Structure formats: C-alpha cells, structure tokens
C-alpha cells in the first residue's frame, strides 16, 4: 500500500512538473498573505451549492516508462522508482530523534535538511546534506537555517542564525566549500526559492542575493517567473477551498499551477487539495481533473518538502 500511495503521489508531482509560465510584468493572484514569507492566504469561499465531500485522487495509469525517480522525505528517506515500485533507502543520515526532514531539488542533485527538536530559546539550526543524482548516499555539507538553490543548481544559498541579533548569508558549493564571502544580513530577512531563483525578502524589498539589487517592492510575494511577480489579490477566486497553499512555475512555459488547500474541510477531518491552472495571458483558470481531492497534505507537496523529482 505504501508503494502504491507513493506512485500516486508521483503522478501528482508529474502533473505539477509539466505546468509552466513565462511572464513579462507583474501579475496579481487570488492570494492573501505572502506564501513566500511562509504564510497561508485565506479568504471566504465563493457562494456555491454544497457538494459531496471530495474523494481520493484517481488519475490514470502511466503508459510506458516515465523514467521518474522520486527522493521522498520519509523516515528514513528513500528513492522510489516510479516505473517498478522499487525503493532504495538513503544512507549517511542520522535520522534518530524524529527530526523534521525536507527535500529540495538543486539542479540534478538534491538537498536534504534535518530540523531536530531543540530546547526553547536555543538558536535554530538545521543539518544540510546533499544527495547526488543517481546515488543514495547523503553527505553533510553545512549547518544553517534556510536554504535555496544558487548558481544554476551548482550550489546553495544558506541563511544562518548566529544569535538573536546576528544572521549571515553565504553561498555553499555542493562539495561543502564556501564560495562567496559570508556577509551579515538582518535577522528579519527571509531566503526564498521564488521558482525562478533565490531571493531575499527584507520587509517590502525583494532582493537578488547574488548582486544585492532590489528586484521589486511588494507587501506580498508568492512566485516570480520571467520577470513577473505573482502577488496580491485581484484575480477572481476560482476554488471553493478558502485557503491558498502553493504555486508552481517553470521557465519557458505559459501556465501557473495554483494550489488551494484546507486541512479540515467543512470543519471535519478531511484534508483537501484543489489545483487550478492559470493562463497569465488571458487570466483564465482551468480546473485539473479529479479536483478537489481528499489527500494527506503533508505528502502532496508540489515542489518539496515531501519529495523531489530525481
């Protein structure tokens, strides 16, 4: 059952992976609260007739070989071959103590980070590991707090907390070597994977971490693609689900996948996801088949931390 569930999640990941967008300005989204700032947007659902509770996501069987491998942040993590169902555990990790384990794709490789429970008031730190493409061995490369891709997937940006008033930003190669001089940043700074590269969010300023150049000023940021920011709330709300969750963008395409989610649908125990495709040219939405669907939200991430396409 576990493998069948993971194969189903792989299909969800594939659907998210094929949607894309190329934008050239600023686009407002049906979104309240900055997802990039770690918040979840919420609003009143549109007035629609009550319908049956969403059921499981069915999808269709894969035809032919997908060649897809998923690095899944289970405990312990493993690589799943979607075509065969074979599972290979990741070695080199000390996952004892029930740490929160997340996955981020970095080019063709992947980064795992372990967030262990810490005493109240202690400095937040996570252990950063790299898993090279085609391997199942994790190698520890750094300790920090927030991570985002750098240099086209050949390195990571690492935000570290020294104490309550001193934080730093550094660029770390996947070999564990520091590539750029460590520099101080305000501890209110957030390091975000915007979908088109890493950005620093400093209040209303969105900054390129490599150059320090301000990219835009906004009070709400969800995603950036092709020079456009997906932010604010001006488009019509398409879903009957009242909370935003994630957005997935991909350069050289034309669509955005917007995910709406509710961890307690209608106040009950059903967790629901609802994915729509937005065409930024026409500003029209298209509903994905079988949506909304009853899922386990922690295991249906569109772009991590649950899994990374291998």
Res 250: pLDDT: 64
Res 253: pLDDT: 60
Res 58: pLDDT: 79
**The CATH number of domain 2-309, selected from 2.130.10, 1.10.540, 2.30.30, 1.20.120:** 2.130.10
Q: What is the pLDDT of residues 182-230, one digit of tens each?
A: 899 999 998 988 777 888 998 888 889 998 899 888 777 777 755 566 7
Measure Cα distances from 133 to 154, 215, 220 in Å.
12, 32, 34
Q: What residues contact residue 161 under an 8 Å CB cut-off, 6+ apart?
A: 123, 124, 125, 145, 167, 187
Alpha-carbon span 218 to 43, nearest angstrom: 20
Q: What residues contact residue 249 under an 8 Å CB cut-off, 6+ apart?
A: 20, 21, 195, 196, 223, 224, 225, 230, 256, 257
Q: Whole-prediction pTM value?
A: 0.71
| Token digits of residue 206 | 């969105």
Alpha-carbon span 46 to 86, nearest angstrom: 43
Res 104: pLDDT: 85
Res 20: pLDDT: 31
Instruction: Give every residue of the chain whose pLDDT is below 70, as ranges.
Output: 1-51, 225-229, 231-234, 250-253, 299-310
């Amino acid at each position: 059952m576990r493998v069948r569930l993971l194969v189903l999640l792989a299909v969800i990941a594939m659907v998210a992976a094929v949607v894309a967008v190329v934008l050239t300005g600023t686009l407002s989204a049906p979104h309240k609260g900055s997802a990039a700032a770690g918040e979840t947007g919420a609003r009143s659902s549109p007035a629609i007739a009550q319908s049956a509770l969403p059921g499981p996501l069915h999808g269709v069987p894969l035809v032919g070989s997908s060649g897809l491998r998923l690095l899944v942040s289970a405990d312990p993590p493993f690589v799943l071959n979607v075509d065969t169902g074979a599972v290979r555990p990741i070695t080199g990790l000390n996952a004892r103590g029930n740490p929160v384990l997340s996955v981020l794709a970095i080019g063709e490789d992947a980064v795992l980070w372990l967030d262990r429970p810490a005493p109240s008031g202690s400095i937040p730190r996570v252990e950063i590991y790299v898993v090279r493409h085609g391997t199942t061995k994790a190698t520890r490369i750094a300790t920090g707090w927030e991570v985002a891709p750098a240099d086209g997937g050949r390195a990571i940006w690492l935000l570290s907390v020294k104490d309550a008033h001193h934080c730093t930003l550094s660029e770390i190669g996947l070999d564990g070597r520091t590539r750029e001089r460590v520099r101080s940043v305000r501890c209110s700074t957030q390091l975000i994977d915007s979908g088109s590269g890493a950005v620093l969010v400093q209040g209303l300023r969105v900054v390129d971490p490599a150059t320090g150049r301000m990219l835009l000023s906004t009070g709400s940021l969800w995603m950036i693609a092709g020079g456009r920011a997906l932010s604010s709330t001006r488009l019509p709300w398409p879903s009957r689900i009242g909370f935003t969750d994630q957005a997935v963008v991909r350069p050289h395409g034309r669509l955005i996948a917007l995910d709406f989610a509710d961890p307690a649908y209608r106040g009950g125990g059903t967790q629901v996801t609802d994915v729509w495709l937005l065409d930024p040219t026409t500003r029209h939405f298209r509903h994905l088949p079988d949506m909304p669907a009853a899922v386990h939200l922690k295991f249906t991430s569109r772009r991590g931390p649950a899994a990374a396409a291998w």
